[in-house]
Amino acid sequence: MAEARPYRLMGVVNVTPDSFSDGGTYLDAGAAVAHARALALEGADILDVGGESTRPGADPVSADEELRRVVPVLEGIAASDWTPARPEVSIDTSKAPVARAALAAGADIVNDVSALRADPDMVELIADSGAECCLMHMLGEPRTMQRVGGPQYEDVVDEVKAFLEERLSFAVGAGVSEERIMLDPGIGFGKTLAHNLELLRRLGELVALGRPLVVGTSRKSFIGRILADAAGEAEPAAVGRRLPGTIATNVLALERGASVFRVHGVGPVRAALTVAAATLGERWTVGGGTTRTS
């Protein structure tokens, strides 16, 4: 019997030379497709393909370059023999031309870190295509979001919630079906370590918006900073040491109602969430707080 899971795992397929975690590893289309297949075997429900790094300080790339990177990968995924079934495919982009080409190549979801602010044509494209989408909070843009002095909020949870609520309303007003929208608080995107932890503690306030909540903590620098501080180290723990922290944050997020987890290592996170979900049982809540009873 297939495993019934109260969550979805979004496996990261970075087709970039400069992503913080695995930049350059899957820049070759064949390597990226092979990685996508491996993530699917580990249990990924969604394959999130991106051709532009959104790490702090990242330089933007042109739509033409982004298309050159991702289209062969998307076509390779579409052409692969999937048994039993291909996972959904997400395109991680804020550019409408890239999203349009990706949807034509078989993508199902548009994951827009700008929440439909970067390209005025994006919302109409999503509405007309009927694609699912993910809208994320980010303060500023990748080049500026972690500038010296740090991002400032009066109350990070209240402000992120208000932003996501406004973006949800905007998308629905422009013709995007609410049932096809996911929301992402943007852990690490224009937030300090303290902001990230506060968002994780109070995720339930964002779940109350009533849409599936996406959490992306995988391998991020705040986890490295926590580990370094605990060990008395000056520099954040290396990316390769951040899996336990990734697992811990995702388990806590599941307990607080998040239901989509964007991760690099699908297998270990899936195992941890399987045990967490079984342990929580009837106490696990979905969406706006509906109690899970099976």
Residues annotated as part of the active site = 220, 262
CA distance 28 to 15: 8
Q: Cα separations (Å) of 139 from 57, 82, 143, 193, 215? A: 13, 38, 11, 14, 16
Residue 129: HSE in the Cβ half-sphere, 13 Å Cα cutoff:
23
Residue 86 vs residues 35, 106, 107, 221, 270: alpha-carbon distances, Å: 14, 11, 11, 31, 18
184 CB-contact burial (10 Å; exposed 0-12 / middle 13-18 / buried 19+):
buried
Question: How far apart are the C-alpha atoms of 93 and 66, rounded to whole Å?
Answer: 9
Stated as kind and residue range, the H or E segment containing 90 is strand 88-92
**Three-class secondary structure of residue 213 per DSSP:** strand
What is the residue whose two structure tokens read 């550019």? 95
Any idea which residue has 């982009």 for tokens?
Answer: 93
Per DSSP, helices labelled H in the chain are 29-42, 63-79, 96-104, 122-129, 156-173, 193-201, 203-207, 221-231, 243-255, 266-280
b/e per residue, 109-131, with b = 16+ CB within 10 A?
bbbbbbbbbbbeebbebbbebeb
Cis peptide before 84 (omega within 30 of 0): yes
